[in-house]
Amino acid sequence: MDYPGALETLSALRRAQGRAAEALAAAEEALARVEDMGGACGMFRGAFVRLAHAESLHATGDRGAARAAIATARAHLLAIAHKIAHPD
């Protein structure tokens, strides 16, 4: 089962319902599970979980933490991108 993905979806639903604190709780659990798995939970799942976390932080009004989460997510994606072989 893609438990981080299910939690990410729950987080998005809670944000859409205006339940920011519950969205953040689900996103934080999803992020913790992704990190426990070493980030190996599907090709892009970790990126979506990190985005859900940042969006949930923003929804709770914690703009500074949301910016920091985006910076961390960006660094993570760039690290993955640098591992992609060049076509030449």
Residue partners of 26: CB distance under 8 A and separation at least 6: 7, 8, 10, 11, 14, 52, 56
The stretch 41-70 carries a mean pLDDT of 90
Q: Is the dihedral of CA 43, 61, 9, 6 positive or negative?
A: positive
Percent with pLDDT over 70 in the chain: 91
Alpha carbons within 13 A on the beta-carbon side of 34 = 27
Domain ranges of the chain: 3-81
> What are the tokens at 58?
């923003």
In which band, very low, low, confident or very high, does the pLDDT at 46 lie, cut at 50, 70 and 90? confident
| pTM of structure | 0.85
